[in-house]
Amino acid sequence: MINNNNKQQYEKPTIALNRFRWVFLIIALVFVFYTFTLFDLQIIQGAGFKAQAEENRIRNISIPTQRGMIYDRNGILLARNIPVYNVAITPANLPESDGKTYEIFKELSTLLDIPVSRGEVNKETSALFTPCYTDFGITQIVQISRSLWPFSPTRVKCNVDKEVAMQVLEKSNDWPGVTVEIESIREYPTGETTAELIGFLGPIPEVLLDYYTEQGFVSGRDKVGYMGVENSLQSTLGGTNGKRVVEVNVGGEIIRDIEEPVEPIPGQDVHLTIDYRLQKTARESLASELALWNQRYLEWRGKILSTTGVVIAMNVKTGEILAMVSIPSYENNRMTQFIPGDYYTQLSVDEAKPLLNKAISSELPPGSVYKLATAIGALNEGVVTPSQEIDDPGRITLTQSFMEGDRFAHNQDYVCWDRDGHGPVNFVNGIKWSCNVYFYKVGGGYKDEVPDNGLGIWRMNEYAHALGYGQLTGIELPGEADGLLPNPTWKRLNQGENWATGDTYLASVGQGYVLATPLQVLHSIATIANDGKHMQVSLISKTTDSEGNLLKSFEPKMLWDITEENLIKSFIGNNPTGELKPVGSWVLDLAKRGMEEVTFPGGTASDLFEGDDKGIAGKTGTAEYCDDWANRENLCVPGNWPAHAWFVGYAPQEDPEIAVVAFIYNGSEGSAVGAPVVRRVIDFYFEQKAIDEQLANPGGN
């Protein structure tokens, strides 16, 4: 505008361009930042975000399979799957009206005996929430599940009665969002009678989580075997889970299947060699014998004798296990849905170790039942002849030394169980009378009567090993122990001492450092009864698919024949010569003759087998021991240690079919406590066999 008065000229205001530099710079920086961020998100991290989005969109669903069932040899069911009904709520499917939802909760509360509302939901309580095992009310359970998995069902109450489940299903139209899930759990119809063999199921252990996840198992849902054949045959029984690959929306709701579903493959059914009838009889026989002796000891001494024992029965010709009992055991039906912490703790701390299958896992001094290994070795090596008589005065004195010229050598007495002695004892009578002094002398030598240190520990171990001692039998159960056949090298490495003269004496009668499992003891006697044929021990008769089609059947397998194969090393002194030899069949015949004499008049078990018409042969065993329990009870008195009771027998003598071993912890006398159990089991076997044959051939003569 021009002012005419003073003729002053005004111009339009402007901003200098240099003042925009900072604005342009800021805009440029923002543009560069967003450009780089966009490049980073789309180019650099694009593949990762795309995979993550795809992962959120696609879900793999595991379809649970059915576990295989377990039967005995006659088709009696030992483990099966039964349905369990769980009531669940899917929050997204509940009515939109809070009033209608409350009415559903109220009716459900009355039916299930769960409060409509109880507890406070917060970060801490939500983290501890476990469906079915919670103190929350229905409202709180739904509140938590709505925030975490609104389109997935959450269990409100588990293992409801079938009638309750049916009522919930009848209300399905009136109660949208409320469903019944059918879950399969394990049940054991024979319970504690077969628990040591069957075992139980439990959640996937954390240490094995990766292993089972790779196999398609789902942690928190699927269960695996913890003990028994449930554990050892997990891969056979467990089957394979199926799989669905589905597309879900942001809320987790399934939209469609992306791939063709893979159907689950059921586990195989397993048929054991066990005869449940014999198993039940064996358990009852052992339990009743323990009860009898415990009552007597309460009356005599004011305390019980024992609560622990083992019985095993085996088919001599095939190696099949017909019964296996370990007392005390546990009730595996208490583990079906979950493992109760208090019950499992109780079992774990129990000094009698009910969770341990003592038939295969307890390493024990075998005592006199081990003398058969010494006897066969001494006769086969020519240490003694069958007719040679060894004097048993009831007590001998040995110079106990740890090395030649030992200045600490001292005299040590070794006694027979019969302190008066048996006088002159030949080979058969040594077994018949279970004469300790006879086996001391032939095992370790004695002056000029049995020169050259007798059989010796190295050769003794060779024969024991050929009979099955000091090694695993390979039975299809977890936790088998291999026992111990000691020698001078072992003692130096593990005890820090040289081998003593008396160590060989003790080993020759199954004492000292010698350890064996009850199954090894039975296997060794079965080998002798089977004319030297050492069979593979087995618990599995056959496996079938879910439709009953045979997949695999048991075939007897001979591992070796000690009378035909060169198994035994020859020694000169303690040094192997490199030569091998078999056991003479005549040696086994004489060993069996000795065991036959055990149950005849004058034998160590003759009183218990009076009137026997089955032709039972056997061997008694009384094995001294001193462990933590015996020490605590002040039982380990030098010269009068406590003893385990053993008896092992087979029948009939002329053509053995069955062998049975009984072991009673702290049972004292094997002939008095163990032999009656073995006789009852063998008697039942033949009585039941006659009944079965009659039923199979009712018109026969």
Which DSSP string corresponds to 375-440? Answer: HHHHHHTTSS-TT--EEE-SEEEEEE-SSTT-TT-EEEEEE-SSTT--EEE-HHHHHHTT-HHHHH
Block residue for tokens 């000029």: 448
State whether residue 267 is helix, strand or coil.
coil
Q: Are residues 224 and 180 part of one domain?
A: no
Domain span holding position 132: 83-186
For the CA atoms of the chain, what is the radius of gyration? Answer: 37
Residue 43 in any domain: the answer is no
DSSP state of 544: E
**What is the domain count for the chain?**
3
Q: Which of 513, 414, 407 is nearest to 461 (CA)?
A: 513
| Nearest C-alpha neighbor of 565 from the set 548, 545, 583, 551 | 583
Q: Which one of 140, 168, 186 terminates a domain?
A: 186
Asked if residue 468 and residue 526 are part of one domain, the reply reads yes
Pairing outcome for strands 178-187 and 242-248: unpaired
Residues 527 and 634 in one domain: yes
Contact between residue 72 and residue 274 where contact means Cβ atoms under 8 Å apart: yes
DSSP string, 606-633: TGGGTT--S--EEEEEEEE---HHHHHT
- Residue 9, beta-bridge partner list: 2
Longest dimension (CA), the chain: 162
| pLDDT at residue 39, rounded to an integer | 67
Residue 39 in domain:
no
User: Would residue 492 count as lying in a domain?
Assistant: yes
Q: What residue type is assigned to position 605 of the chain?
A: A
Report residue 4 as tokens: 């005419």
Q: Is 683 a member of any domain?
A: yes
The neighbour count for residue 577, using CB atoms within 10 Å, is: 9
Residues sharing a CB contact under 8 Å with residue 342, sequence separation 6 or more, in sequence order = none
Contact 689, 653 (CB under 8 A): no
Mean pLDDT by 10 residues, the chain (701 residues): 51 59 74 73 61 62 91 97 93 90 93 92 84 88 88 88 92 91 92 96 92 89 94 95 80 74 93 98 97 94 93 98 97 89 91 95 97 98 96 89 71 88 95 96 94 94 97 97 96 92 95 97 98 97 94 95 93 86 97 96 92 94 91 83 95 96 93 95 97 85 57
Distance of CA 288 to the CA centre of its chain: 25
Question: Is the same domain home to 202 and 339?
Answer: no
Residue 225: inside a domain, yes or no? yes
270 within 8 A of 194, measured Cβ to Cβ: no
Contacts of 523 (CB under 8 A, 6+ apart): 314, 467, 468, 473, 534, 537
On whether both 350 and 491 belong to a single domain, the answer is yes
pLDDT of residue 398: 86
Q: 511 and 534 share a domain?
A: yes
Identify whether 250 is part of a domain.
no
- Of 262, 235, 234, 230, the residue nearest 246 (C-alpha): 262
Which residues is 647 bridged to in the sheet? 620, 662
Determine the Cα–Cα distance for residues 234 and 232; give it in Å rounded to an integer. Answer: 6
Q: Based on the domain organization, do 128 and 261 belong to the same domain?
A: no
Distance CA 202, CA 223 (A): 5
The whole-angstrom separation of Cα 448 and Cα 628 is 40
Q: How many CB atoms lie within 10 A of CB 143?
A: 16
pLDDT of residue 2: 46
Where in 113-153 does DSSP place strands (E)? none
Cα distance between residue 500 and residue 403, in whole Å: 7
- Looking at the fold, whether 310 and 395 belong to one and the same domain comes out as yes
- Last residue in a domain, options 160, 186, 212: 186
Which single residue is written with the structure tokens 């600490």? Answer: 408
Nearest to 91 by CA among 20, 177, 185, 189: 177
d(CA 564, CA 372): 19
Look at residue 151 and tell me if it is in a domain. Answer: yes
For residue 541, the SS3 value is strand
- Separation between Cα atoms, residue 660 and residue 525, nearest integer Å: 9
Q: Which of 159, 186, 213 is where one domain is finished? A: 186
Are residue 67 and residue 152 in the same domain, yes or no? no
Instruction: Provide the CATH number for the domain around residue 70.
Output: 3.90.1310.10
Q: Identify whether 589 is part of a domain.
A: yes
Task: Determine how many CB atoms are found less than 10 A away from the CB of residue 71.
Answer: 21
State whether 480 and 362 are in the same domain.
yes
Per DSSP, the residues of 443-484 read HH-BTTTB-TTSS-HHHHHHHHHHTTTTS----SSTT----B
Q: What is the DSSP string of 334-385?
A: GGSSS--HHHHHHHHH-TT-TTS-HHHH--B--GGGGHHHHHHHHHHTTSS-
Residue 290 sits in the same domain as residue 379:
yes
Specify whether 106 is located in the same domain as 220.
no
- Contact yes or no for 432/597 (Cβ under 8 A): yes
